[in-house]
């Protein structure tokens, strides 16, 4: 196409003002408001300009496009007013899927959010005293109950005096919790960390970067695969303010390795009177949950051992809202609370409401209420039975649907070996590739996210809520009976 004729095409595009003055767009603007309609018109005209630039429109095609301009603007208005965040069906079997919003919330947490958020609350008001209060008291109270077992068996520090015990504060996420702890306890001074623990965790959380931002100085010891207690001992100088231990999370070092036991680090920390901070990451709050999960650290275990402060996420194994939690010696937690960074990293009432209700379920021992714990406990036979029911609902089809043994993943920074036995639905078709099947499942409402492995589509019902089974079966039935797409240009 000639440049000259492109100029003519551009010239034949109406102006935004011109369009808005005339029907049918004037009526549209009266109905939906001037601003959104103007935006939609700009978008539609912009897209036409791009198509002219790309040489995809001649005079005739442009004329056609302009005759359908009102419909295009209406379509654009609808698109623009649709919500972007949307519910999906997670059929990946990854329980804490970072891309799919990690932990689903308990019904009690949702109810409490609604109750607190739709009106006013005592977020920072002490009802007993009738005066200004603190927002962090609401969850500290429950954390004390959940972590009481650790306080009872923990040997107190000499300087704890009349304020012994374990306190907890909450910030925006675990990355923020680590930042706050490092800045409070070691600003301008050295923090000793094993080289084997300097890993990057889910979506660019890097200890050296967080350390730099906290103004603490990283002092690496040992090697990637082996670090001994002597390495820490030799590195301690009068500049050392903190010992840091980091859970390696979704990274495993196997073979010739050596990591210092928490007990040894606690002993060294106490001997030298330097606090020990442990970044647990997923931080299992439930007793016994960690041991079943192969190397997932438990909050209680670390505190019992005598770790001074632990940090962990609210939306990983705990099964609550996104949050970073700092639990530890009252005196150290008090210092973090008075750091101005705490104010910058604080969470809102929605988070406190969700977290409080989730913790209450722990206090009551009502673990079935917490989706993450419920999904983890689902027996393979139960998942297999539901998978069979889905197969029967699909009925006769041109899709091969097979039930096979497989593994669900904990995810969310848990070790890659933290898996649970499950029953998978494996889909294969002689007409559609695995990618095509997966793309069609994504196009459903709600979209269905599956795994694609070795030319098959794998669905794990562990992470699909039972009430979603019929929708999943219906989607599979439609995919099974659909024709391969004619490839459009």
Ligand X SMILES: *Cc1c(COP(=O)(O)O)cnc(C)c1O
Q: Is 351 in the site for ligand X (CB under 6 A)?
A: no
Please select the residue that binds ligand X; options are 173, 214, 351, 358, rule is CB under 6 A. Answer: 173
Q: Which is nearer to ligand X, 191 or 480 (CB)?
A: 191
The single residue among 169, 201, 332, 473 that binds ligand X, judged by CB under 6 A, is: 201
Position with the least CB separation from ligand X? 281
End-to-end C-alpha distance for the chain, whole angstroms: 19
Query: What is the SS3 assignment for 327-381?
Result: EEEHHHHHHHHCCHHHHHCCCCHHHHHHHHHHHHHHHHCCHHHCHHHHHHHCCHH
Minimum distance, C-beta of residue 175 to ligand X, in the bound complex (Å): 4
Closer residue to ligand X, CB minimum distance, 282 or 429: 282
Least distance in angstroms from the C-beta of 216 to ligand X: 16
214 in contact with ligand X (CB under 6 A): no
Tell me the three state secondary structure of residue 186.
helix
Count of other CB atoms within 10 angstroms of residue 267: 15
* Residues 440, 482: Cα–Cα separation, whole Å: 10
Q: Counting contacts by CB under 6 A, is residue 371 touching ligand X?
A: no
Q: How far is CA 21 from CA 14, 16, 25, 46, in A?
A: 11, 9, 7, 19
Interface characters, 67-106, with ligand X (x: CB under 6 A): ----------------------------------------
Q: Which of 90, 227, 240, 282 binds ligand X (CB under 6 A)?
A: 282
Helix (H) or strand (E) holding 303: helix 299-305
CB of 3 to ligand X, least distance (A): 52
CB of 207 to ligand X, least distance (A): 8
- State phi, psi for 389 to the nearest 5 degrees: -60, -40
Q: By three-state DSSP, how is residue 15 classified?
A: coil
Q: Give the binding-site size for ligand X (rule: CB under 6 A).
A: 15
Which has the closest alpha carbon to 181: 296, 412, 314, 342?
A: 342
- Cβ contact 336:326 at 8 Å: yes
Contact segment (CB under 6 A) with ligand X among 26-34, 132-140, 148-156, 246-254 equals 246-254
Quick note: the x/- pattern for ligand X over 301-330, rule CB under 6 A, is ------------x----------x------
By CB under 6 A, tell whether 358 contacts ligand X.
no
Among 104, 406, 411, 413, binds ligand X (CB under 6 A): 413
| DSSP run (H or E) holding 94 | strand 94-96
* Contact footprint for ligand X (CB under 6 A): 173-175, 201-202, 205, 246-247, 249, 279, 281-282, 313, 324, 413
């Amino acid at each position: 196409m000639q440049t000259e004729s492109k100029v003519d095409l551009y010239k034949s595009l109406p102006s935004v003002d011109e369009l808005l003055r005339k029907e049918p767009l004037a009526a549209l603007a009266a109905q939906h408001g001037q601003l959104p309609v103007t935006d939609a018109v700009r978008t539609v005209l912009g897209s036409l300009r791009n198509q002219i630039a790309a040489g995809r429109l001649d005079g005739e095609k442009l004329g056609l496009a302009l005759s359908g301009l009102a419909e295009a603007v209406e379509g654009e208005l609808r698109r623009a007013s649709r919500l972007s965040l949307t519910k999906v069906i997670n059929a990946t079997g990854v329980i804490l899927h970072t891309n799919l919003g990690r932990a689903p919330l308990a019904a009690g947490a949702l109810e409490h959010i609604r109750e607190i958020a739709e009106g006013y609350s005592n977020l920072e008001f002490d009802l007993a005293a009738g005066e200004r209060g603190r927002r962090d008291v609401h969850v500290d109270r429950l954390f004390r109950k959940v972590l009481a077992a650790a306080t009872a068996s923990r040997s107190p520090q000499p300087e704890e005096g009349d304020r012994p015990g374990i306190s907890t504060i909450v910030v925006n996420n675990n990355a923020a919790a680590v930042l706050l702890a490092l800045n409070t306890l070691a600003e301008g001074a050295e923090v000793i960390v094993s080289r084997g623990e300097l890993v990057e965790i889910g979506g660019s959380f890097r200890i050296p970067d967080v350390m730099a931002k906290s103004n603490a100085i990283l002092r690496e010891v040992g090697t990637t695969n082996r670090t001994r207690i002597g390495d820490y001992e030799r590195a301690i100088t009068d500049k050392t303010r903190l010992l840091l231990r980091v859970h390696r999370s979704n990274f495993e070092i196997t073979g010739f390795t050596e990591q210092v036991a928490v007990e040894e680090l606690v002993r060294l920390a106490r001997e030298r009177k330097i606090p020990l901070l442990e970044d647990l990451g997923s931080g299992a709050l439930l007793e016994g949950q960690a041991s079943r999960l192969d190397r997932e650290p438990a909050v209680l275990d670390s505190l019992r051992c005598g770790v001074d402060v632990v940090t962990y996420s609210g939306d990983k194994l705990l099964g609550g809202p996104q949050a970073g939690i700092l639990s530890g010696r009252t005196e150290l937690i008090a210092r973090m609370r008075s750091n101005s960074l705490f104010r910058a990293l604080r969470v809102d009432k929605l988070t406190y409401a969700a977290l409080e209700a989730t913790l209450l379920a722990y206090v009551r021992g009502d673990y079935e209420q917490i989706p993450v714990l419920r999904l983890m406990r689902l027996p393979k036979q139960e998942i297999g039975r539901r998978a069979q029911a889905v197969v029967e609902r699909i009925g006769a089809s041109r899709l091969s649907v097979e039930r096979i043994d497989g593994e669900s993943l904990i995810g969310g920074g848990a070790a890659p070996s933290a898996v649970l036995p499950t029953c998978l639905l494996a889909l294969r078709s002689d007409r559609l590739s695995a990618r095509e099947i997966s793309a069609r499942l994504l196009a459903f409402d709600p979209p269905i996210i599956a795994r694609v492995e070795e030319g098959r589509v794998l669905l794990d019902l562990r992470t699909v809520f039972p009430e979603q089974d019929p929708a999943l079966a219906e989607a599979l039935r439609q995919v099974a009976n659909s024709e391969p797409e004619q490839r459009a240009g």
